[in-house]
């Protein structure tokens, strides 16, 4: 599986889990009466999936136009920037068994601690 197929599969899994209710969403929009609005976070998560899907689609369109079948073949500033978007997206799935370390080898692996932000 290449990075594009990997990302498409992960995005589809996330969308499916959101729609099936696999995520427990507890959002309290009205703190005065404690009413819950579980849908707003779910809608934002689905919107994020759509945005990720748009990034992947943008890559595929540009790659087709340039005759690129593998992201590693990308040359030039814009092509490399588009490839970087794929590797950044894939980096959030590093723990997935199908993830290949070479896809995001240049990305940071440490997560900043809360104390570092202060």
| Whether pTM exceeds 0.75 | no
C-alpha distances in angstroms, 91 versus 48, 84, 95, 109? 16, 10, 9, 9
Nearest to 26 by CA among 15, 16, 13, 40: 40
Q: From its phi and psi, is residue 25 left (phi > 0), alpha (psi between -120 and 50) or beta?
A: beta
Residue range 34-79, pLDDT digits in tens: 555 556 777 888 899 999 999 999 989 988 888 888 888 888 888 8
Residues 25/42, Cβ–Cβ less than 8 Å: yes
């Amino acid at each position: 599986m290449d990075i594009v197929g990997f990302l498409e599969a992960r995005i589809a899994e996330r969308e499916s889990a959101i729609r099936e209710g696999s995520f427990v969403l507890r959002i309290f929009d009205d703190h005065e009466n404690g009413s819950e609005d579980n849908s707003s976070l779910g809608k934002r998560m689905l919107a994020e999936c759509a945005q990720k899907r748009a990034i992947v689609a943008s890559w595929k369109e540009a790659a087709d136009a340039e005759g690129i079948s593998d992201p590693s073949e990308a040359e030039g500033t814009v092509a490399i920037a588009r490839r970087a978007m794929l590797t950044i997206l894939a980096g959030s799935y590093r723990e997935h068994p199908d993830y290949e370390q070479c896809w995001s080898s240049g990305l940071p692996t440490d997560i900043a601690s809360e104390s570092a932000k202060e």
